[in-house]
Amino acid sequence: MKKSILLGSAILAGLALNSCQGVGTDVIAPSSIKLVNESDSVSYGLGMNIGADLTRNLKTVPGNVNMDALIAGLVQTLKGDSANYKLEESEVQEMLQTYFQKAAEEERMKAQLKNEEYLSANKKNPGVIVTASGLQYKVITEGTGAKPKADDVVKVHYTGKLIDGTVFDSSVQRGQPAEFPVGQVIPGWTEALQLMSVGSKYELTIPSNLAYGERPAGPIPANSILIFEVELLDIVKK
């Protein structure tokens, strides 16, 4: 399990801060390490690389991590000191899997409640229209051109944000409109584009189930409501 590997290994990043504090191991203080040959330097460099990578990964572990316990677990494993393990090896993977699944479910429930509150408040804003699917949109500019169908290719300008205002993507910032088939984007986009006439600009508030759902997508966390300002520039292929 990826998470359990990260949890067990991420301790390397904390050795420098904790090895002198006494955790029941014989870890050598980093300040006393001497690099006298190539093997020493390679070993130290390897530790730096692993530590930097795993420090980033440790930030994804939910809850509070007891660094002393973390260090003790790794050091005993590296030393092959299985006789003194404080947990049964056969139980560790199941325990960690249960922990991460529970944490993920708690995060999902919190996100769901937050999303429901946001959507409930947003639909009361002036000009916001809610469709049967739950898509919310507001007309900024109503165009007079044709409306695309699901099998059309459209040219659009857009800016996408999370509900905290974080911009995760913007063709406007890139200075280059995007072209794509209407039917091959997230459901919220497919629905909204078919409501728009060429020349229109809409603000879309897309519930997570009409976006990426429980799947994170790059800078977009799982269960995210997405807010887009979309301008339909043209239908480039019918």
| pLDDT number for residue 122 | 97
- Looking at 99, 168, 180, 234, which residue is catalytic? 168
Give the residues across from 150 on adjacent strands: none
Domain ranges of the chain: 2-86, 114-237
- 137 Cβ contact partners less than 8 Å away, ≥ 6 residues apart: 128, 129, 131, 192, 195, 202, 203, 204, 205
| pLDDT number for residue 12 | 45
Burial of 194 from C-beta contacts in 10 A (0-12 / 13-18 / 19+): middle
Task: Using a cut of 0.85, tell me whether the model's pTM lies above it.
Answer: no
Coil vs helix vs strand at 237? strand
Structure tokens at 234: 């043209």
Coil vs helix vs strand at 180? strand
The proportion of the chain whose per-residue pLDDT surpasses 90, expressed as a percent, equals 64
Q: Is 228 a catalytic residue?
A: yes
- Looking at 100, 158, 202, 235, which residue is catalytic? 158
| pLDDT number for residue 14 | 44
- Looking at 212, 220, 227, 235, which residue is catalytic? 212
Span 114-237 CATH architecture:
Roll (3.10)
Structure tokens at 89: 């090896």
Q: Is 169 a catalytic residue?
A: yes
Q: What is the pLDDT of residues 175-216, one digit of tens each?
A: 999 999 999 999 999 999 999 999 999 999 999 999 999 899
Regions of the chain where pLDDT drops below 70: 1-28, 238
- Looking at 169, 202, 225, 235, which residue is catalytic? 169
Is the CB of residue 202 less than 8 Å from the CB of residue 138?
yes
Is the CB of residue 212 less than 8 Å from the CB of residue 187?
no
Q: Is 158 a catalytic residue?
A: yes
First to last CA, the chain: 46
Q: Is 180 a catalytic residue?
A: no
Rounded distance, CA 102 to CA 182, Å?
A: 37
> Which letter does DSSP use for residue 125 in this model?
S
Coil vs helix vs strand at 69? helix
- Looking at 50, 53, 163, 186, which residue is catalytic? 186
Q: Is 168 a catalytic residue?
A: yes
